[in-house]
């Protein structure tokens, strides 16, 4: 009897002990998870064999055979490879994410501050805007703007002209003047970079002087002067190597200038104001979270109101605002994959859409697309962590 | 009159209380303090008024007074207006309402959909309403409801089976959203507990899963569901597209819920864990009785936000070709009778989402207020 009882006793003892029970549970989980993965891998191999496909990334170097209407950075024709179409898609994703984040931040801060306005009408209007925008799916916003641009704006022949025939709005897109760089423009660019460097150096110096002596320089105005005067001097010196190519109606379409496609406009505006509604709430919460005592203390010390905002309120509010702001940027980037609904060629639409359909490489294309989004997410969140640790409250 | 303003004519303490100056009270005072308190505020008010004046009258005319409510097609609609597109053609929405509601659900079986809607209302009411008799049974009913609804909608076990492809419109939107919401909560809580577990393997698995799902857009997961998932399954077995989509939506929402709940768990002071341990409670006892009730309470706003998000995300199924309310509406726009009525359609759908999401957000706010016990963490 005793011998038959012994193993179960050992088992129950192992189960009662916290450490060994942990080990048992973990081994058990690992067996289940790896078993599941093995079954999936086996199924994938069998299924792929059954339909006569093999798992390889060779297709990336096959000619893609489809056109991409919007490729502002690199040359792309339908003879290019799938790899190139993926690159074009990635660049388009980054382009929309970049401009979207900028517009969303500006709009979000403006609306968030309007929400806090002591003016009842202003704060109500922004409240209604925020509540309406963020309670409607972003896809509907994008589709609605796209429908407005395409169906309600006039055709190119009757395009709405803005700013004295410099800008044109039509259902084929938004036409803006494009800069033409002639020889010598590079020098202007170099001077611009140098003046940016000067501004940064000057800011550091001004901060050091202020820390040491308390003297405050008018940093903003001096920076503005450096940034405008030096490059314009360079412009004059190089005999204005930059000119503007202004769009003009020739026949049925516009010639010259730069065309911002309706797909880009719809996606950009839709993503931006949808995200701006969330950013506005973040900004509002961040500013409200800085206790009023801080303002009062600053005033008691004799700090002027705009300096109070600049030196006391904003730095403290930013500490609260930045982490959720970064996750909104991340959301915007991920939401940019909705481009596929209106035909803007981002990475999901090129590699994950058309390339997938044409090559039948579901596994490979989806792995690449998901991997790219994961990398972008990781980059943004590691930036967030770095920034967080930089501005973290150092308690003494 | 002048005499009463002369301070000398009163003994100290006998001055009668004067009413506050008219300019600081009532409507005028309110307007003065809230709209015209400074030159900047006056300018802002005037700009806002001008802006509203530009938008509101024409919107009201387009939406209501100039709108047409019944017609057979858009030509008839526009014939009734002063000029085409001078008002909204709500006849389009009215005429398509049944399609938008039921999709292609077979006509004689629609009572099942109606019954599901009624039961859904009852489940929501029972789960959310405090202080109703038999709260326990209401909650049990709400937990059983998803399965009951699945039986009612898809048939089997005595009911006529209905293929999932027949679902569409608001019905499909609600099916996707309610499934995502109701199954992601338990899964999300489990993931959050796993992520905070002291067992490294369990923790690693949960972290990888959560971060992977949160790092990719829902669309790519839906593409996986529609194109790739069949490769993962045993050869020969086929899996309904709706089912695959529901699984993906649930997993997606669960990862976000997990992070919200983890925030709640971290917000709890360690004293609570230590007190539970000191009472000799086991892991499950302490979590069920002490940790989770408090952690979930802190996480309610985040959980509801995630629910709203996953409800809004349910429209993405249109990208893989499923006909939810948005997909069906867009398909309807190609109907020659109603060509080009996009504004009406998008306003209707926006309103549908706005009403439901706003209601959820308000409910969350009121719940937050009610559960506020005054002491934090």
Burial of A350 per CB tally in 10 Å (0-12, 13-18, 19+): buried
Is A137 in Cβ contact with B315 (below 8 Å)?
yes
Residues A351 and A93 sit within 8 Å (Cβ to Cβ): no
Fold of domain A82-136+264-391: MetI-like fold (1.10.3720)
Per residue, what are the HEC states of chain A? CHHHHHHHHHHHHHHHCHHHHHHHHHHHHHHHHHHHHHHHHHHHHHHHHHCCCCCCCHHHHCECCCCCCCCCCCCCCCCCEHHHHHHHHHHHHHHHHHHHHHHHHHHHHHHHHHHCCCCHHHHHHHHHHHHHHHCCCHHHHHHHHHHHHHHHCCCHHHCEEECCCCEEEECCEEEECEEEECCCHHHHHHHHHHHHHHHHHHHHHHHHHHHHHCCCCCHHHHHHHHHHHHHHHHHHHCCCCEEEECCEEECCEEECCEEECHHHHHHHHHHHHHHHHHHHHHHHHHHHHCCHHHHHHHHHCCCCHHHHHHHHHHHHHHHHHHHHHHHHHHHHHHHHHHHHHCCCCCHHHHHHHHHHHHHCCHHHHHHHHHHHHHHHHHHHHHHHHHHHHHHCCCCC
CA A331 to CA A276: how far, in whole Å?
Answer: 12
- Inform me whether the C-beta atom of residue B320 falls under 8 Å from chain A C-beta atoms: no
Inter-residue long-range contacts of A148-154, CB under 8 Å, 24+ positions, other chains counted: A148/B342, A148/B343, A149/A262, A149/A265, A149/A266, A150/A262, A151/B340, A151/B342, A152/B343
Is B230 in Cβ contact with A47 (below 8 Å)?
yes
CA A159 to CA B17: how far, in whole Å?
Answer: 68
pLDDT at B203: 92
Alpha carbon of residue B156 to chain centroid: 31
- Is the per-residue pLDDT at B12 higher than 60? yes
| Of A139, A147, A377, Cβ closest to residue B215 | A377
pLDDT at B377: 42
The ipTM value here is 0.87
- Is the per-residue pLDDT at B152 higher than 80? yes
- Is the per-residue pLDDT at A233 higher than 90? no
Angle between helical axes of B135-154 and B169-195 (0-180°, round to 10):
130
| Of B44, B233, B353, Cβ closest to residue A43 | B233
| Residue keyed to tokens 């009406």 | B344
For residue B330, the distance in angstroms to the closest alpha carbon of chain A comes to: 10
- CB crowding A48-71: b at 16 or more within 10 Å, else e: eeeeebeeeeebbeeebebebebb
Give the torsion sign (CA, B223, B227, B231, B235).
Answer: positive
Tokens of A253: 């379409």
| Of A122, A151, A334, Cβ closest to residue B48 | A122
- Inform me whether the C-beta atom of residue B228 falls under 8 Å from chain A C-beta atoms: yes
Residues B319 and A340 sit within 8 Å (Cβ to Cβ): yes
For residue A312, the distance in angstroms to the closest alpha carbon of chain B comes to: 23
Instruction: Spell out the residues 6+ positions from residue B223 whose beta carbon is closer than 8 angstroms to its own.
Output: A348, A352, A356, A366, B320
pLDDT at A338: 92
CA A316 to CA B3: how far, in whole Å?
Answer: 55
pLDDT at B5: 54
Averaged pLDDT, A310-325 = 86
- A2 falls in which pLDDT band (50, 70, 90)? very low
Closest of B78, B252, B326, B145 to residue A370, by C-alpha: B252
Chain B residues near residue A364 by CB distance under 8 angstroms: none
Chain B residues near residue A340 by CB distance under 8 angstroms: 219, 319
Q: Are strands A253-255 and A173-176 parallel, antiparallel or unpaired?
A: unpaired
| Of B198, B326, B354, Cβ closest to residue A139 | B326
Tokens of B45: 């008010």
pLDDT at B1: 44
pLDDT tens profile B38-72: 888 889 899 999 999 999 998 998 888 888 888 88
Q: Residue ranges of the domains in chain B?
A: 23-65, 90-105+162-371
CA B4 to CA B10: how far, in whole Å?
Answer: 9
pLDDT at B375: 55
Q: Centre a 10 Å sphere on the Cβ of residue B327 and count the other Cβ atoms it contains.
A: 21
CA A114 to CA A254: how far, in whole Å?
Answer: 39
- Inform me whether the C-beta atom of residue A138 falls under 8 Å from chain B C-beta atoms: yes
Is A366 in Cβ contact with B224 (below 8 Å)?
yes
DSSP 3-state of B73: coil
Reported pTM: 0.86
- A 30-69 residues inside an 8 A Cβ radius of B: 30, 33, 40, 43-44, 46-48, 50
Residue of chain A whose Cα is closest to the Cα of B351: A136
- Inform me whether the C-beta atom of residue A132 falls under 8 Å from chain B C-beta atoms: yes
Residue to mutate among B231, B325, B353, B364, with most A CBs inside 10 A, is B231
More confident residue, A5 or B326: B326
Residue of chain B whose Cα is closest to the Cα of A336: B217
Instruction: Spell out the residues 6+ positions from residue B52 whose beta carbon is closer than 8 angstroms to its own.
Output: A125
Residues A167 and A244 sit within 8 Å (Cβ to Cβ): no
CATH for B90-105+162-371, options being 3.40.50.1260, 1.10.1040.10, 1.10.10.10, 1.10.3720.10: 1.10.3720.10
CA B146 to CA B165: how far, in whole Å?
Answer: 19
Q: Centre a 10 Å sphere on the Cβ of residue A358 and count the other Cβ atoms it contains.
A: 16
- Is the per-residue pLDDT at B151 higher than 50? yes
- Inform me whether the C-beta atom of residue B316 falls under 8 Å from chain A C-beta atoms: yes
pLDDT at A143: 93
Instruction: Spell out the residues 6+ positions from residue B122 whose beta carbon is closer than 8 angstroms to its own.
Output: B141
- Inform me whether the C-beta atom of residue A76 falls under 8 Å from chain B C-beta atoms: no
- A31 falls in which pLDDT band (50, 70, 90)? very high
- A50 falls in which pLDDT band (50, 70, 90)? confident
Averaged pLDDT, B338-351 = 88
If you count residue pairs, one on A and one on B, with CB atoms under 8 Å apart, how many are there? 148
Kindly state the percentage of chain A with pLDDT values over 90. Answer: 30
Averaged pLDDT, B266-295 = 90
CA B170 to CA B114: how far, in whole Å?
Answer: 12
- Is the per-residue pLDDT at B24 higher than 60? yes
Query: Rounded to whole angstroms, what are the CA distances from A80 to A60, A76, A93, A310, A345?
Result: 10, 6, 19, 51, 15
Q: Are strands A248-250 and A242-245 parallel, antiparallel or unpaired?
A: unpaired
CA A182 to CA A213: how far, in whole Å?
Answer: 47
Residues A359 and A365 sit within 8 Å (Cβ to Cβ): yes
Averaged pLDDT, B236-255 = 89
Region of residue A299 (phi > 0: left; psi between -120 and 50: alpha; otherwise: beta)? alpha
Residue to mutate among A26, A44, A262, A379, with most B CBs inside 10 A, is A26
CA B296 to CA B15: how far, in whole Å?
Answer: 59
- A1 falls in which pLDDT band (50, 70, 90)? very low
CA B322 to CA B319: how far, in whole Å?
Answer: 7
CA A321 to CA A281: how far, in whole Å?
Answer: 10
Residues A55 and A38 sit within 8 Å (Cβ to Cβ): no
Residues B109 and B171 sit within 8 Å (Cβ to Cβ): no
Tokens of A354: 């058309």
Q: Residue ranges of the domains in chain A?
A: 2-50, 82-136+264-391
CA A189 to CA A150: how far, in whole Å?
Answer: 37
- Is the per-residue pLDDT at B2 higher than 70? no
pLDDT tens profile A327-336: 899 999 999 9
Chain B residues near residue A147 by CB distance under 8 angstroms: 342-343, 346
Closest of B181, B258, B252, B262 to residue B213, by C-alpha: B252
For chain B, the distance separating the N- and C-terminal CA atoms, rounded to the nearest angstrom, is 62
Residue-averaged pLDDT of chain A:
85
| Residue keyed to tokens 């191999």 | A45
Out of A301-310, B166-175, B260-269, least confident range: A301-310
Is B350 in Cβ contact with A140 (below 8 Å)?
yes
- Inform me whether the C-beta atom of residue A363 falls under 8 Å from chain B C-beta atoms: yes
pLDDT at B180: 92
């Amino acid at each position: 009897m005793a011998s038959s009882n012994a193993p179960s006793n050992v088992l129950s003892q192992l189960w009662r002990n916290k450490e060994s029970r942990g080990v048992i549970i973990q081994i058990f989980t690992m067996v289940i998870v790896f078993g599941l993965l093995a079954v999936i891998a086996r199924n994938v191999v069998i299924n792929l064999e059954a339909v006569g496909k093999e798992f390889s990334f060779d297709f990336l170097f096959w000619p893609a055979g489809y056109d991409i209407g919007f490729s502002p950075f690199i040359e792309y024709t339908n003879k290019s490879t799938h790899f190139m179409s993926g690159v074009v898609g990635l660049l388009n994703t980054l382009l929309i994410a970049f401009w979207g984040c900028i517009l969303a931040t500006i709009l979000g801060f403006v609306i968030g501050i309007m929400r806090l306005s002591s003016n009842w009408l202003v704060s109500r209007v922004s409240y209604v805007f925020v509540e309406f925008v963020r309670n409607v799916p972003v896809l509907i916003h994008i589709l609605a703007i796209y429908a407005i641009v395409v169906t309600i704006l006039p055709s190119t022949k009757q395009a709405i002209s803005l700013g004295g025939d410099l800008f044109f709005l039509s259902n084929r897109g938004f036409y803006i003047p494009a800069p033409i760089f002639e020889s010598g423009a590079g020098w202007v660019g170099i001077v611009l970079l140098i003046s940016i460097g000067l501004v940064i150096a000057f800011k550091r110096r001004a901060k050091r002087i202020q820390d040491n002596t308390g003297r405050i320089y008018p940093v903003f105005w001096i920076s503005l002067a450096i940034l405008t005067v030096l490059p314009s001097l360079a412009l004059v010196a190089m005999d204005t190597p930059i000119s503007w190519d202004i769009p003009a109606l020739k026949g049925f379409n516009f010639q010259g200038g730069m065309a911002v496609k309706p797909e880009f406009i719809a996606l950009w505006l839709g993503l931006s104001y949808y995200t701006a509604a969330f950013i506005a709430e973040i900004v509002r919460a961040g500013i409200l979270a800085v206790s009023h005592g801080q303002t009062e203390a600053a005033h008691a010390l004799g700090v002027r109101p705009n300096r109070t905002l600049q030196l006391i309120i904003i730095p403290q509010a930013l500490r609260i605002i930045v982490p959720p702001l970064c996750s909104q940027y991340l959301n915007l980037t991920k939401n940019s994959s909705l481009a596929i609904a209106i035909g803007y060629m981002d990475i999901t639409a090129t590699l994950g859409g058309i390339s997938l359909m044409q090559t039948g490489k579901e596994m490979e294309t989806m792995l690449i697309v998901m991997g790219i989004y994961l990398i972008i997410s990781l980059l943004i969140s590691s930036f967030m962590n770095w920034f967080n640790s930089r501005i973290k409250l150092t308690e003494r | 009159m002048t005499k009463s303003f002369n301070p000398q004519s009163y003994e100290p303490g006998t001055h009668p209380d004067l009413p506050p100056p008219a300019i600081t009270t009532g409507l005028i005072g309110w307007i003065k303090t809230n709209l015209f308190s400074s030159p900047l505020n006056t300018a802002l008010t005037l700009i806002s008024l001008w802006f509203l004046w530009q938008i509101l009258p024409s919107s009201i005319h387009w939406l209501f007074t100039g709108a047409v409510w019944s017609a057979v097609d858009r030509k008839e609609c526009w014939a009734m207006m002063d000029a085409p597109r001078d008002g909204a053609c709500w006849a389009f929405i009215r005429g398509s309402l049944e399609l938008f509601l039921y999709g292609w659900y077979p006509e004689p079986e629609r009572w099942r959909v109606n019954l599901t809607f009624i039961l859904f209302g009852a489940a929501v009411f029972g789960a959310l309403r405090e202080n109703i008799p038999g709260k326990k049974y209401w909650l049990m009913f709400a937990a059983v409801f998803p399965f009951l609804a699945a039986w009612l909608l898809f048939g089997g076990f005595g009911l006529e089976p209905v293929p999932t492809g027949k679902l569409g419109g608001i019905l499909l939107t609600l099916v996707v959203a309610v499934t995502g919401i109701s199954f992601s909560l338990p899964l999300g809580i489990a993931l959050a507990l796993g992520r905070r577990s002291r067992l490294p393997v369990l923790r690693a698995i949960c972290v990888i899963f959560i971060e992977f799902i949160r790092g990719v857009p829902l669309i790519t997961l839906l593409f996986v569901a529609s194109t790739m998932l069949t490769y993962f399954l045993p050869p020969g077995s086929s899996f309904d597209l709706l089912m695959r989509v529901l699984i993906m939506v649930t997993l997606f929402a669960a990862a976000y819920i997990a992070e919200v709940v983890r925030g709640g768990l971290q917000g709890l002071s360690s004293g609570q864990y230590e007190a539970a341990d000191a009472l000799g409670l086991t892991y499950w006892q302490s979590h069920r009785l002490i940790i989770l009730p408090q952690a979930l309470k802190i996480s309610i706003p985040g959980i509801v936000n995630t629910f709203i998000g996953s409800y809004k995300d349910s429209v993405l199924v249109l990208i893989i070709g499923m006909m939810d309310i948005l997909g069906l509406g867009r398909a309807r726009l190609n109907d020659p009778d109603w060509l080009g009525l996009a504004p009406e359609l998008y306003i209707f759908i926006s309103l549908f989402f706005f009403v439901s999401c706003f209601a959820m957000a308000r409910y969350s706010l009121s719940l937050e207020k009610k559960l506020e016990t005054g002491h934090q963490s």
